[in-house]
Amino acid sequence: MQCITTWLSHGYLQKMPGHHRPRRHSLVRFRHCLDYANRAALNMLSLDWEAIEEQTCQLGPLNQMPPTFTADDFEAIEKDTFKFSQTFWHCIKKCNEEKLSITRNFDQPVNRGWFFIEAKFQPLMEGLVMVCLTGHHHVTPLYRKKRMCFDEQQNLLRMIDSHQTQCCISIVDDDSGDVLVSHHTKPFVDQFWQGREVLDKWAIADLQWGEEQLEWWGKAMYSSMSQTGPLQIVNDLTLVSGKKICMQMDCQYVDSIEKSTGRYLKMNQPQSGFICSFTDVTEKRSLEELADVQRQIMDRADHMHMLVLEVLDNGHAIYHLVNHMTEAYMKQMYNQEDITGKSSEELGVDPSHLKMYVDAISRVQEGGTRREVIHDTFSNQWFLCTIWHIKDKRYALLCSDVSDMKNMSDELMTSKKALEEQIKVRDRALVTQSRFLATMSHEIRTPLQGIMESLKSFAEKEDLLDEEKDMVNIGRICSDQLLCVINDVLDYSKIEANELELEKRGVLLQAVVEESIDIVKIQAAKKGLNIISWPEFPIGYQIVADFGRLRQILVNLLSNAIKFTTKGDIILAVSMDMQSRTIRFSVKDEGIGISQSFRDNIFKPFGGTGLGLSIVKRFVDLMGGQISFESVEGEGTTFSFFIPCHEHPQEEESRRLSSMEEQISTYNRSQPARAIIIQSNDRELVGMKTWIDSMNYQSTGYHRVEEAIGEKREEVKTSLLIIERGQNHHHIEQIIRRYPTAYVILTEGPTDKTNYRPDVEYVCDVMKKPIRKRQVLASLHQKCLRRRSMALPMEKRRTIEEEKITLRVMVAEDNEFNQKVISRMLSRYSIVPHIVENGKEAVEEMEKGDYDIILMDCNMPIMGGIEATSVIRKSVNEKKQPVIVALTADAMASNRQMCLDAGMDEVLVKPIQTEALQRLLSSTQQRFPDLTGHQQIYTNAHGKIDYRN
């Protein structure tokens, strides 16, 4: 009898979604599976020699072997005879004798799992028996060495369902990569399919899942086939509802079964079965990520200690969580490393050491937070600890080492005390300095008041020559500048005392420029320098500014330019930027320039130019502007600054200048006029020509008078000649005779002594350089237009000499010289004041009669002005209270505030400015309108006061 054995095993080819060819290693897996089946059969096919006679059976050919099964494998199977088991032998014998087909099942353990082997015995002709062995590989042992009965299966399923497990038994089709759900629990359907019916349905074909959604699931199931236990995988998943979760799947390869009958599959039906259980670990992963981040933060926070303590009743504590910094600290202090979860008692921490922190913890309210500085005396460190209550007796601590900060704080405290002492010394010095400056200011201002008033009185004489008026005007301006210098010295004291304030009022910008130049023009002329300035703004433009300090800025910059220039021009340019609302000033020289070593200190006191530039920068900063400079050594320097431009409504002079310029422009539009300008300096010529053209003159400029003589006459009548007086005298007379009806202006240097006047019928005007726009405009308006028979509308006004005012004024001043000066200033307004010599007399005089205004000197013998004001405010009836104005040489803001606090209405700083006195009288007249019968005081064109009904 021959036995032909055919050993079969369920092989499989792994086919992933999206792939149409099996992977190459699937043949290897097929070989391994087949090898396990054959080896199991060989072990099973053993004859029991004790039970039956010895028989041998030559194994027949193996069929359906893949090409990868080598010849050596065949030899290993065929070279030996085997002992058949008794059951196997009886099956063969019975099949042969009774000619019946017999099926028997065997199980065989192998290295990785179990083989369930199905043996089919089929009788053939001529005494042959064919045995077909089919092996099924299990990665888990068979339950009780047998298949489970129906009841056992149902009980097992009920057990799974009762645990609300998201679980399913799935089958993977190797060809399509689709997944069939052959059994599932309710939680699985609710989670993945929102309760839809999915039993015995394919995920892609029936439920329309995308292959990309099943890819990770298929990979996991195929990977589990090579494992002895379940394979666990975690992946992000988008559910049917659109919700995104993190899912953990535990996959166990089960077997190869036929989906329709449940039988084990043939090799031509490649479908694999798996048990898959699912767990939503979204929250778990989030917590793990959060914990990981927290752990990283704690470990990377190498600048502070982080720990969670649980305080015990015995005074010790458990360290539930610590970072590397705390671990390093504990190792240093107590030579302990692994401290998490241990108590301070186990770690050997000194109770008194721990008590420092426990005491701080005890001061934290339940659920609250507290910040406290702790001095760790054991390590001699200072910690800034933030402590907050977590729950029960657990507290979190964040402790930063602030030892360096504490040491710095101690040093700073020591320095602070030393600085405070220095400040006290400085303050005492400032008080002494302020007193000295106030005294010196009073002593200087008193004679300066007389000088300024004398010059003003002298300038009002009508029989002065133009040159004499010019010199008197220069003396007056220089007196004003001397006053500014005195104020500059005081300004440093004010800056140190934070009392520097700007006197903001309406300022004629052209007047600031011209007066600044007038102050320095003689100084420039002595060095042969030309100062040229033709600003680019309307001549009547007014801004809100501090006239004196703005002029001081320009004077300092001009003086600095003259100081370091030996030849050439000094150009003062002014322009407006209406878009940014700023005014830009620049002073350019052609001097030696600024060396690199001086540039960093140029604006510091005595940084190379004395106080001048330092004061300039202080004033510019105070005005809200900025100053800068550009310099090239050997070529020159340009200082530029800008300040905010706040336009001020036009006042009397501003309106008058704008009106004159407009009248000339209007006339020239109606009757075209030509102007000839002859100036040797090119910059002077260009600037003057530009301005003359702006008034609708058709001007022509020449550097020499000979050039003008050579030109042929134009059709337009020449009505203006501006000629430099230093040109050839003969040629000057020749061109003047050529245009006999033209208005002639001769220009000359500020120090020229020549008395030359052209031998012609007339010369209208002679003007000193630098040319002042206001002077030229007034001359053109008053003489040129009148010569051309233009009637000018002039407003008639009654001056103060024509009508008297009865303001009752008292002057309280102890200095006889000042009494005379003030009396003279008031006499211009027809006011005869009552003079008293101290505050006591002023109080007594108020008891005798009524006064509308008191000019009260602050520093007087017997009773000062401040004390006298307090008495008057308390003793005089409210309806009879006068306007009290302080007269003081102390320009400090603190002194001004003290006067106002005493009850004074206004403060005038000596020397008294005429404009300030005019404003004071005007405001007082408005306060007492019934005294004169006139409604308001106005300033006429000559700077005096007149009245209008």
As a whole number of angstroms, the distance between CA 807 and CA 804 comes to 9
The 3-state DSSP class for residue 14 equals coil
64: left (phi over 0), alpha (psi -120 to 50) or beta: left
Give pLDDT, residue 840.
92
The 3-state DSSP class for residue 537 equals coil
**Predicted confidence (pLDDT) at residue 222 exceeds the cutoff of 80:** no
Give pLDDT, residue 531.
94
Q: Which H helix or E strand runs over 12?
A: none
> How high is the mean pLDDT of the chain?
76
| Mean predicted confidence (pLDDT) in 396-413 | 86
As a whole number of angstroms, the distance between CA 6 and CA 3 comes to 10
Q: Report the C-alpha dihedral over residues 406, 411, 413, 419, rounded to 10 degrees.
A: -160
| Mean predicted confidence (pLDDT) in 327-351 | 87
Tell me whether residue 59 is exposed, middle or buried, using C-beta atoms within 10 angstroms of its C-beta: 0 to 12, 13 to 18, 19 or more: buried
**Predicted confidence (pLDDT) at residue 417 exceeds the cutoff of 50:** yes
Lowest mean pLDDT among 154-168, 300-314, 575-589, 685-699: 154-168
Q: What is the pLDDT of residues 498-556, one digit of tens each?
A: 666 788 889 999 999 998 998 888 889 889 899 999 998 899 999 999 988 899 899 98
As a whole number of angstroms, the distance between CA 527 and CA 105 comes to 131
What single-letter DSSP state applies at residue 709?
H
Q: Under a CB-based contact definition with an 8 Å cutoff, are residues 819 and 809 in contact? A: no
Give pLDDT, residue 173.
78
The residue that leads in pLDDT, 466 or 614, is 614
Give pLDDT, residue 936.
36
As a whole number of angstroms, the distance between CA 112 and CA 108 comes to 11
Share of the chain above pLDDT 90, in %: 17
Give pLDDT, residue 158.
72
What is the helix, strand, coil percentage profile of the chain, to 5?
Answer: 40, 25, 35
Give pLDDT, residue 301.
65
| Mean predicted confidence (pLDDT) in 562-587 | 92
196 token code pair: 């839809």
Q: Under a CB-based contact definition with an 8 Å cutoff, are residues 388 and 396 in contact? A: yes
Give pLDDT, residue 608.
54
Beta 765-768 vs 743-748: how paired, if at all? parallel
Distance of CA 918 to the CA centre of its chain: 49
**Predicted confidence (pLDDT) at residue 131 exceeds the cutoff of 90:** no
**Predicted confidence (pLDDT) at residue 194 exceeds the cutoff of 70:** yes
Share of the chain above pLDDT 70, in %: 72
As a whole number of angstroms, the distance between CA 750 and CA 528 comes to 10
Q: How far apart are the first and last CA of the chain?
A: 157
Pick the most confident of 78-92, 468-482, 538-552.
538-552
Give pLDDT, residue 477.
72
Q: What is the pLDDT of residues 588-647, one digit of tens each?
A: 999 999 888 888 888 876 655 556 788 888 889 989 999 999 999 989 999 999 999 899
Q: Under a CB-based contact definition with an 8 Å cutoff, are residues 880 and 839 in contact? A: no
**Total number of residues shown for the chain:** 949
As a whole number of angstroms, the distance between CA 37 and CA 10 comes to 9
As a whole number of angstroms, the distance between CA 843 and CA 882 comes to 12
Give pLDDT, residue 41.
53
Picking from 289, 347, 339, 343, the residue whose alpha carbon sits closest to that of residue 315 is 343
As a whole number of angstroms, the distance between CA 865 and CA 900 comes to 12
As a whole number of angstroms, the distance between CA 253 and CA 231 comes to 9
CA separation, residue 527 to residues 562, 587, 634, 705, 771 (Å): 8, 17, 18, 26, 18
Give pLDDT, residue 94.
84
608 token code pair: 């190379």
**Predicted confidence (pLDDT) at residue 150 exceeds the cutoff of 60:** no
**Predicted confidence (pLDDT) at residue 206 exceeds the cutoff of 60:** yes
The residues, ordered by sequence, that sit 6+ positions from 203 with a Cβ below 8 Å of its Cβ are 178, 179, 180, 181, 209, 214
Q: Under a CB-based contact definition with an 8 Å cutoff, are residues 701 and 723 in contact? A: no
**For tokens 């520093």, what's the residue?**
859
**For tokens 């059994």, what's the residue?**
183
Query: Phi and psi at residue 371, in whole multiples of 5°?
Result: -120, 130
Burial 599-616 (b: 16+ CB within 10 A, else e): eeebbeeeeebebbbbbb
**Predicted confidence (pLDDT) at residue 269 exceeds the cutoff of 50:** no
The residues, ordered by sequence, that sit 6+ positions from 598 with a Cβ below 8 Å of its Cβ are 607, 608
**Predicted confidence (pLDDT) at residue 268 exceeds the cutoff of 80:** no
Q: Report residue 758's pLDDT band, with 50, 70 and 90 as the boundaries.
A: low
Beta 530-532 vs 569-577: how paired, if at all? parallel
As a whole number of angstroms, the distance between CA 207 and CA 568 comes to 98
Q: Under a CB-based contact definition with an 8 Å cutoff, are residues 792 and 785 in contact? A: yes
Q: Report residue 456's pLDDT band, with 50, 70 and 90 as the boundaries.
A: confident
Bridge partner list, 247: 235, 280
69 token code pair: 């099964």
Picking from 645, 691, 642, the residue whose alpha carbon sits closest to that of residue 665 is 691
Q: What is the pLDDT of residues 298-325, one digit of tens each?
A: 666 667 888 888 999 888 999 988 888 8
As a whole number of angstroms, the distance between CA 582 and CA 946 comes to 36
568 token code pair: 């050439």
The residue that leads in pLDDT, 527 or 878, is 527
CA separation, residue 119 to residues 137, 256, 446, 751, 881 (Å): 15, 17, 138, 139, 136
Helices in 47-110 by DSSP H: which ranges? 71-78, 86-98
Query: Phi and psi at residue 131, in whole multiples of 5°?
Result: -110, 125
Query: Phi and psi at residue 831, in whole multiples of 5°?
Result: -110, 125
Give pLDDT, residue 9.
37
Give pLDDT, residue 561.
92
| Mean predicted confidence (pLDDT) in 477-482 | 72
Q: Report residue 900's pLDDT band, with 50, 70 and 90 as the boundaries.
A: confident
The answer to whether the predicted template modeling score (pTM) of the entire model surpasses 0.85 is: no
Give pLDDT, residue 429.
76
**Predicted confidence (pLDDT) at residue 496 exceeds the cutoff of 90:** no
Give pLDDT, residue 689.
94
As a whole number of angstroms, the distance between CA 376 and CA 333 comes to 12
**Predicted confidence (pLDDT) at residue 562 exceeds the cutoff of 60:** yes
Q: Report residue 108's pLDDT band, with 50, 70 and 90 as the boundaries.
A: low
Give pLDDT, residue 629.
93
Q: What is the pLDDT of residues 7-55, one digit of tens each?
A: 443 332 222 233 333 333 334 444 444 444 455 455 544 433 333 333 3
Give pLDDT, residue 484.
65
Beta 381-391 vs 394-401: how paired, if at all? antiparallel
Over its C-alpha atoms, the chain yields an Rg (Å, rounded) of: 57
Query: Phi and psi at residue 545, in whole multiples of 5°?
Result: -165, 175
The residue that leads in pLDDT, 408 or 39, is 408
Sheet holding 530-532, edge to edge: 530-532, 569-577, 582-588, 636-644, 626-632
Q: Under a CB-based contact definition with an 8 Å cutoff, are residues 11 and 30 in contact? A: yes
Quick count: other Cβ atoms within 10 Å of Cβ 423?
Answer: 12
| Mean predicted confidence (pLDDT) in 640-660 | 91
Please, what is the Cα angle at 405 between 403 and 411, to 5 degrees?
105
| Mean predicted confidence (pLDDT) in 163-173 | 80
**Predicted confidence (pLDDT) at residue 285 exceeds the cutoff of 70:** yes
**For tokens 């220039």, what's the residue?**
565
Give pLDDT, residue 614.
81
As a whole number of angstroms, the distance between CA 9 and CA 228 comes to 19
Bridge partner list, 269: none
Give pLDDT, residue 948.
32
939 token code pair: 């300033």
Give pLDDT, residue 686.
93
Q: Under a CB-based contact definition with an 8 Å cutoff, are residues 526 and 751 in contact? A: yes
Lowest mean pLDDT among 99-108, 628-637, 813-822, 931-940: 931-940
DSSP track, 127-193: G-EEEEEEEEEESS--GGGSPPPHHHHHHHHHHHHHTT-EEEEEEEETTT--EEEEEE-HHHHHHHH
